[in-house]
């Protein structure tokens, strides 16, 4: 895959949305996504799971589309544990990217055990210009990968991105707060160390997933260079609070998907109880 090829507009297909013939080239989309991490207001991502939800997000006026790996895994009836068939995942993500004209970043779990060059090639072929990569050891003991091993993988992904001529936006997720050991102080220390290491390896953003302590959010932002991604959740952190703390990227993770499926559960239960459509 050459840089010359990637500088062309994404191929216009018969199932592309209206106006997609005028979409940015893939390297321009990547640059636009990257620049959104370095402005005064945080990048807000309403994570989607299929073409329909992606089109709704774009039509609402949000400038970027992000996928949720947990939501997509549930769509396929699979666990969110890096065991998905990458052919299936990238085919699905490609449909999402083709359905919108804005840049798309995808949650790719831990990379599905793909070689970094293949991972980047599949991303770009799918029309995706950013990704999340997490450091959970899904294929080992279920804890965390060695931080230096993960940094090496991220560094190789960055090198593959550069070789392809597109600056793929790399969001390095650390699951210290989800799967790490020790007390809160230990977790904060390890999250900072991993965040710095991943940033040095070429990550454009660091994603300390599942942090719930406000003081830790402040400490992470102060200690780790570059933009940080946090999740806004009901009853935990609002978008306004994370903005005030200095988050430069705010996502909803699988939150929207859970809201939608919870509503579907209510409707299904109402139908099962004999209620009519006017009562839904």
**Res 10 pLDDT > 90:** no
CATH of domain 3-10+26-279: 3.20.20.60
Which pLDDT tens digit goes with each residue over 82-101?
999 999 999 999 999 999 99
Are the beta carbons of 186 and 168 closer than 8 angstroms?
no
**The pTM of the whole model exceeds 0.85:** yes
Q: What is the pLDDT of residue 11?
A: 36
**Average pLDDT, integer, range 150-155:** 98
Average pLDDT, the chain: 93
Among residues 120, 100, 112, 111, the alpha carbon closest in space to that of 48 is found at 100
Q: Provide, rounded to the nearest whole percent, the portion of the chain with pLDDT above 70.
A: 92
> pLDDT tens across 35-82, in order?
999 999 999 999 999 999 999 999 999 999 999 999 999 999 999 999
Domain ranges of the chain: 3-10+26-279
pLDDT of residue 180: 82
Helical ranges in the chain per DSSP H: 3-6, 26-35, 51-59, 69-75, 86-98, 116-126, 147-164, 176-179, 184-200, 214-223, 239-245, 255-272
pLDDT reported for residue 8: 32
Beta-bridge partner residues of 106? 131
Within 10 angstroms of residue 219's Cβ, the number of other Cβ atoms is 16
CA distances (Å), origin 120, targets 117, 133, 199: 5, 12, 18
pLDDT band at 20 (very low <50, low <70, confident <90, very high): low
pLDDT of residue 2: 38
Q: What is the pLDDT of residues 217-245, one digit of tens each?
A: 999 999 999 999 999 999 999 999 999 99
pLDDT of residue 245: 97
pLDDT band at 141 (very low <50, low <70, confident <90, very high): confident
- The model's pLDDT over 188-220, given as tens digits with 9 standing for 90+, comes to 999 999 999 999 999 999 999 999 999 999 999
Q: How far is CA 193 from CA 109, 179, 206, 222, 223, in A?
A: 21, 16, 11, 13, 9
CA distances from 60 to 57, 153, 223, 230 (A): 5, 36, 35, 22
pLDDT for the residue 22: 56
- Report pLDDT digits (tens) over 22-34: 579 999 999 999 9
What is the b/e burial string over 32-62, where b = at least 16 CB atoms within 10 angstroms of the residue's CB?
Answer: bbbebbeeeebbbbbbbbbbebbbebbeeeb
């Amino acid at each position: 895959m050459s840089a010359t090829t990637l500088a062309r507009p994404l191929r216009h297909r018969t199932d592309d949305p209206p106006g997609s013939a005028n979409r940015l080239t893939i390297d321009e989309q990547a640059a636009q996504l990257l620049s959104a991490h370095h402005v005064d207001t945080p990048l807000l991502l309403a994570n989607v799971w299929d073409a329909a939800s992606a089109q709704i997000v774009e039509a609402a006026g949000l400038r970027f589309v992000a996928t949720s790996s947990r939501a997509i895994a549930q769509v396929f009836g699979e666990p969110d544990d890096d065991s998905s068939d990458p052919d299936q995942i990238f085919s699905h993500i490609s449909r999402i990217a083709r359905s919108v004209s804005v840049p798309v970043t995808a949650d790719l779990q831990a990379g599905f055990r793909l070689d970094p060059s293949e991972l980047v090639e599949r991303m770009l072929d799918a029309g995706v210009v950013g990704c999340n990569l997490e450091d959970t050891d899904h294929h080992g003991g279920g804890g965390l990968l060695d931080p230096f091993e993960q940094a090496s993988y991220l560094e190789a992904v960055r090198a593959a991105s550069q070789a392809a001529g597109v600056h793929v936006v790399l969001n390095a997720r650390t699951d210290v707060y989800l799967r790490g050991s020790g007390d809160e102080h230990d977790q904060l220390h390890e999250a900072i160390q991993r965040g710095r290491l991943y940033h040095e390896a070429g990550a454009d953003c660091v994603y300390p997933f599942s942090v719930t302590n406000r003081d830790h959010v402040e400490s992470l932002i102060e200690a780790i260079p570059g933009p940080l991604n946090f999740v806004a959740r009901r009853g935990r952190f609002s978008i306004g609070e994370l903005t005030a703390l200095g988050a430069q990227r705010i996502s909803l993770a699988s939150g929207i998907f859970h809201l939608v499926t919870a509503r579907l559960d209510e409707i299904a239960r109402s139908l099962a109880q004999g209620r009519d459509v006017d009562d839904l």
